[in-house]
């Protein structure tokens, strides 16, 4: 499913239309840095999970190319005049690209009180960042497609170019919520500015997508709706991902209508810690990017080594911070049950 | 009651920031299958998709809106329960960072010969969606006041509309409510072509009923009946009759809110009478009132003069269409009379 390392002709690379050269070294280095940050963070989570410094791990190693390109193109901020994001648990690189801090993700992994996303209540990679319009994430694999309808309506009513972005996995598209999103986003009464993304890693936990889905491409669902663009791209390729996202963002922003984008990516450590979280021999988008840059003379191996070392050192420091922080007290479960506080007579004993 | 809900929603769309009122057949021309959204400026029709409706409401709430969504019958809400769960838990799950001000209203209960898929009650399941507030009025004025409070709430509120009461008239008028004929002429859509029709709304007020406060529907010192929704007027009639016939002073507490429920009011009444029956139309297994009975046993066992009672629906897979089946399954006036008689008669 995922792309194997490509062999490009020198003529193609030399051409002015070469998508990597078009993106430019500065942007590519930025994307690379974010991909490395996300990869190291995910690998640290896995170590923490295996070493008892946290519990369950689920994340997105293998999706960094597409997700970093996505996060960098978001119109970020708070409120309907900025993009809303309905993400799923493989989206670390998206929020890191938007400026989220690894230390906060580490706090959630350790489930400490200072975890800003959930106060130690939710799994790792389940973000909630109102300052960035990242709405609360759920481990369900599909509900984000349903909730994206609501922010989409709010933005369709507002005078804004901001849009709603929803992403999920291929397996989740079997659920009704994905199809709800398609139907609602294409209502003639009020089309919605939603960029509907499916990251297709070829697996639903332990089940091959190809054994359950007869669609040629998941993006083919767009064909049911007149005028709706649908496209499948290689999500392991930075240049292709960037260009596809750029096109999709622009379409939704300008036309205030939905776009369905499917990105085929690797899943490098399996489904989660429940399946062992061991490295899988699938194409690695970071290695692919580094090869592309080396091939074009846009970077040297030493540049990459420095980036890896710099990010690893920053991660170590962040982990050191999170490691010293206390866990939440049990009684804190009564915080936030209701927005206006817990009524004094609410039952809190857990029985007799 | 349908008119009361409609008026509250109109007050909400004009004064409380309600920008979206939607659901299946909620907009024109129908204005809701029970007409609770007729004539509203912000009401619109959605696809027949409960998950989409609730997901849309949740997204709108996160985007800063105060949406009101309708599920046409509570029987249809089961396929969307995890979206309700998400609505209920997202404030807590996000460490208090995302508020969820949304109202989901839905007709509940039996009494209209609704058969297997238009007669369900949802109380105990709703009460398990911790983080969600759950209200269920039994009178038009409470329906108005609870809807105003629900719209203002920063928490998700499930507004259960007892469908058998949606066509009933209240004893108390809503502030600003004109007489029946005048109100009908003002806000009820005419039959036939409604394209040019617009409602003329009475001058309404901010009258709210605090969520979590029960109503003392009928005072009494001999026994307590705790009820809500469709069963409340039946219990009130029985209490009045018992009083007029000299058979006992029965206190009726209309809960109005299931979550949070008014525990101080329940406790005070039961401590006064020592005798209590809980009456609702949900099935008896894992009934919401069973929790209240357990809590009473824990907190005022020695003040109970007799065992507490539960009068509830029978635990069948559905409610049968034939009137004999429905009347057998669901509590009727005679059942309330029987339970209250036994409650009063049992030696302490």
What confidence score (pLDDT) does residue A2 get? 44
Interface size between A and B, measured as CB pairs under 8 A? 162
Task: Tell me what pLDDT residue B192 has.
Answer: 86
Q: How far apart are CA B100 and CA B92, in angstroms?
A: 10
Check whether A11 has a pLDDT greater than 70: no
Give residue-wise pLDDT tens across range A147-156.
999 999 999 9
CA distance A146 to A142: 7
**What structural domains and CATH numbers belong to chain B?**
2-187 (3.40.50.970), 215-345 (3.40.50.920)
Partners of residue A157 in chain B, C-beta under 8 Å: 19
CB neighbourhood size of A162 (10 A) = 22
Contact (CB<8Å) A183/B57: no
List the single residue in A with minimal CA-CA distance to B294: A352
Tell me what pLDDT residue B193 has: 86
Helix (H, G, I), strand (E, B) or coil at B177: coil
Compute the nearest-CA separation of B19 from chain A (Å).
9
Please report the pLDDT score of residue B121 as a whole number: 94
Q: Write down the pLDDT at residue B115.
A: 94
Percent of chain A with pLDDT over 70: 96
Buried b (16+ CB within 10 A) or exposed e, B101-115: bbbbbbbbbbbeebb
- Partner A, chain B 81-140, Cβ-Cβ below 8 Å: 82-83, 86, 90-101, 130-131, 133
Contacts of B202 (CB under 8 A, 6+ apart): B7, B176, B177, B178, B183, B186, B187
Q: Which parts of B4-63 are beta strand (E)? A: 21-23, 43-45
Decide if pLDDT at A86 tops 60: yes
DSSP B149: H
pLDDT value of residue B339: 98
Bridge partners of B135?
Answer: B159, B257
pLDDT of amino acid A17: 86
pLDDT in tens, A115-126: 999 999 999 999
Predicted local confidence at residue A8, as pLDDT = 52
A176 to chain B: which residues are within 8 Å by CB?
A: 49, 51
**Which residue of B62, B92, B98 is in closest CB contact with A150?**
B62
Q: Which of A248, A268, A243 is nearest to A258 (CA)?
A: A248
Per residue of chain B (348 residues), what is the pLDDT tens digit? 999 999 999 999 999 999 999 999 999 999 999 999 999 999 999 999 999 999 999 999 999 999 999 999 999 999 999 999 999 999 999 999 999 999 999 999 999 999 999 999 999 999 999 999 999 999 999 999 999 999 999 999 999 999 999 999 999 999 999 999 999 999 999 988 888 999 999 999 999 999 999 999 999 999 999 999 999 999 999 999 999 999 999 999 999 999 999 999 999 999 999 999 999 999 999 999 999 999 999 999 999 999 999 999 999 999 999 999 999 999 999 999 999 999 999 999
Interface residue of B23, B47, B56 to substitute, partner A, most A CBs within 10 Å = B56
pLDDT at A212 over 50: yes
Residues 31-60, chain B: which have Cβ within 8 Å of A?
A: 44-47, 49, 51-52, 54-60
Q: Which member of A145, A336, A337 has the closest CB to residue B95?
A: A336
Strand order in the sheet with B276-283: B215-218, B250-254, B223-227, B276-283, B309-313
Query: Confidence band (pLDDT; 50, 70, 90) for A10?
Result: low
- Calculated CA dihedral for residues B49, B53, B54, B55, nearest 10 degrees: 90
Whole-angstrom distance between the N-terminal and C-terminal Cα of chain B? 40
Which of B133, B13, B11 shows the shortest CA–CA distance to B66?
B13
Distance to chain A for B323, nearest Cα, Å: 36
CA B228, CA B256: separation in Å to the nearest integer? 6
Structure tokens at B194: 């409604």
Within 92-131 of A, beta carbons closer than 8 Å to B belong to 115-119, 121-122, 126, 128-130
**What structural domains and CATH numbers belong to chain A?**
10-324 (3.40.50.970)
Position of tokens 């004064």? B15
Please tell me the distance in Å from A96's CA to the nearest CA on chain B: 18
In three-state form (DSSP H/G/I as H, E/B as E, the rest C), the secondary structure along chain A is CCCCCCCCCHHHHHCCCCHHHHHCHHHHHHHHHHHHHHHHHHHHHHHHHHHCCCCCCCCCCCCHHHHHHHHHCCCCCCCCCCCEEECCCCCHHHHHHCCCCHHHHHHHHHCCCCCCCCCCCCCCCCCCEHHHCECCCCCCCCHHHHHHHHHHHHHHHCCCCCCEEEEEECHHHHCHHHHHHHHHHCCCCCCCCEEEEEEECCEECCEEHHHHCCCCCHHHHHHHCCCCCEEEEECCCHHHHHHHHHHHHHHHHHHCCCEEEEEECCCCCCCCHHHCCCCCCCCCHHHHHHHHHHHHCCCCHHHHHHHHHHHHHHHHHHHHHHHCCCCCCHHHHHCCCCCCCCCCCCCCCCCC
| Inter-chain touch A135–B98, beta carbons under 8 Å | yes
Inter-chain CB proximity B153 and A340 less than 8 Å: yes
- In three-state secondary structure terms, B192 is coil
What whole-number distance in Å separates Cα of residue B3 and Cα of residue B24?
18
Return the active site residues of B.
Answer: 118
Rounded Cα–Cα distance for residues B219 and B38 (Å): 36
CA distance A259 to A196: 6
Residues of chain A in contact with residue B151, where contact means CB-CB under 8 angstroms, are none
Predicted confidence band of residue A1 (pLDDT cuts 50, 70, 90): very low
A127 contacts on B by Cβ (under 8 Å): none
Strands B133-135 vs B257-259: parallel, antiparallel or unpaired: antiparallel
Which of 171-200 (A) contact B at CB < 8 A?
176-177, 180-181, 183-184, 187, 189
The predicted-structure confidence for A28-55, as pLDDT tens digits, reads as follows: 999 999 999 999 999 999 999 999 999 9
Coil, strand, or helix at residue B74?
Answer: helix
What single DSSP character describes residue B317?
S
3-state secondary structure of B176: coil
Task: Measure the CA–CA gap between B147 and B149, rounded to whole angstroms.
Answer: 5
pLDDT value of residue A13:
67
Residue of A nearest to B81 (CA): A143
The model's pTM is 0.96
What pLDDT does residue A5 have? Answer: 45
Q: Does A76 touch chain B (CB under 8 A)?
A: no
Closest CA to B123 of B284, B320, B309: B284
* pLDDT tens-digit readout, A223-236: 999 999 999 999 99
Q: How far apart are the C-alpha atoms of A250 and B263, rounded to whole Å?
A: 55
pLDDT, position A184: 98
Q: Given this model, what pLDDT does residue A12 score?
A: 61
Contact B55 A347 (CB under 8 A): no
Please state the rounded mean pLDDT for residues A185-192: 98
């Amino acid at each position: 499913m995922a792309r194997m390392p490509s062999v490009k002709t020198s003529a193609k690379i030399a051409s002015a239309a070469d998508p990597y050269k078009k993106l430019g070294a500065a942007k590519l280095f930025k994307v690379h840095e974010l991909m490395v940050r996300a990869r190291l963070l995910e690998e640290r989570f896995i170590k923490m999970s295996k070493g008892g410094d946290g519990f369950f791990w689920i994340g997105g190693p293998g999706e960094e190319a597409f997700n970093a390109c996505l996060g960098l193109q978001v119109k970020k901020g708070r409120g309907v005049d900025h993009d809303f994001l309905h993400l799923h648990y493989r989206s670390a690189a998206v929020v890191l690209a938007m400026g989220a801090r690894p230390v906060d993700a580490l706090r959630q992994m350790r489930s400490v009180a200072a975890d800003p996303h959930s106060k130690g209540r939710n799994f790792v990679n389940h973000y909630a960042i109102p300052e960035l319009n990242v709405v609360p994430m759920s481990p369900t694999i599909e509900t984000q497609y349903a909730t994206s309808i609501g922010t989409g309506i709010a933005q369709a009513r507002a005078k804004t170019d901001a849009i709603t972005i929803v992403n999920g996995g291929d397996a989740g598209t079997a659920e009704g919520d994905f199809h709800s999103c398609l139907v609602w986003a294409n209502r003639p009464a009020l089309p919605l500015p939603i960029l509907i993304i499916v990251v297709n890693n070829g697996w639903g936990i332990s089940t091959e997508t190809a054994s359950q889905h007869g669609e040629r491409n998941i993006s083919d669902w767009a064909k049911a709706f007149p005028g709706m663009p649908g496209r499948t791209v290689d999500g392991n390729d930075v240049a292709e991902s960037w260009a596809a996202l750029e096109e999709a963002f622009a379409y939704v922003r300008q036309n205030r209508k939905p776009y369905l984008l499917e990105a085929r990516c690797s899943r490098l450590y399996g489904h989660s810690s429940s399946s062992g979280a061991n490295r899988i021999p699938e194409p690695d988008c970071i290695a692919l990017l580094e090869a592309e840059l080396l091939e074009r003379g846009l970077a040297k191996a030493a540049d990459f080594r420095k980036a890896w070392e710099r990010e690893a050192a920053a991660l170590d420091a962040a982990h050191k911070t999170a490691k010293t922080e206390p866990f939440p007290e049990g009684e804190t479960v009564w915080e936030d049950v209701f927005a206006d506080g817990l009524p004094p007579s609410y039952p809190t004993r857990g029985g007799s | 009651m349908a008119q009361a809900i409609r008026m509250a929603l109109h007050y909400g769309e004009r004064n409380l920031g309600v920008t979206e009122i939607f659901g299946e057949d909620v907009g024109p021309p129908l204005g809701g299958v029970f007409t609770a959204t007729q004539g509203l400026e912000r009401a619109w029709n959605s696809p027949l998709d409960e998950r989409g409706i609730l997901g849309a409401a949740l997204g709108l709430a996160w985007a800063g809106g105060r949406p009101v969504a309708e599920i046409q019958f509570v029987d249809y809400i089961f396929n969307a329960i995890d979206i309700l769960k998400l609505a209920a838990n997202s404030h807590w799950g996000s460490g208090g960072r995302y508020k969820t001000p949304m109202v989901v209203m839905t007709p509940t209960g039996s009494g209209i010969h609704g058969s297997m898929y238009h007669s369900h009650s949802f109380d105990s399941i709703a009460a398990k969606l911790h983080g969600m507030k759950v209200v269920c009025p039994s009178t038009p004025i409470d329906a108005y006041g609870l809807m105003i409070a629900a719209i203002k709430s920063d928490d998700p509120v499930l507004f259960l509309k007892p469908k058998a009461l949606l066509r009933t008239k209240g004893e108390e008028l809503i502030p600003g409510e004109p007489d029946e004929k005048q109100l009908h002429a003002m806000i009820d859509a005419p039959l036939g072509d409604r394209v040019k029709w617009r409602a003329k709304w009475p001058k309404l007020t901010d009258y709210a009923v605090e969520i979590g406060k029960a109503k003392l529907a009928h005072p009494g010192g001999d026994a307590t009946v705790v009820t809500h929704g469709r069963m409340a007027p039946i219990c009130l009639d029985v209490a009045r009759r018992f009083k007029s016939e000299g058979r006992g002073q029965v206190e009726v507490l209309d809960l109005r809110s299931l979550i949070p429920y008014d525990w101080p009011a329940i406790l005070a009444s039961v401590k006064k009478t020592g005798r209590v029956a809980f009456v609702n139309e949900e099935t008896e297994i894992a009934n919401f009132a069973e929790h209240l009975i357990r809590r009473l046993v824990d907190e005022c066992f020695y003040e109970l003069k007799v065992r507490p009672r539960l009068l509830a629906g029978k635990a069948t897979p559905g409610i049968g269409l034939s009137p004999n089946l429905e009347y057998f399954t669901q509590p009727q006036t005679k059942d309330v009379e029987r339970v209250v008689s036994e409650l009063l008669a049992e030696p302490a």
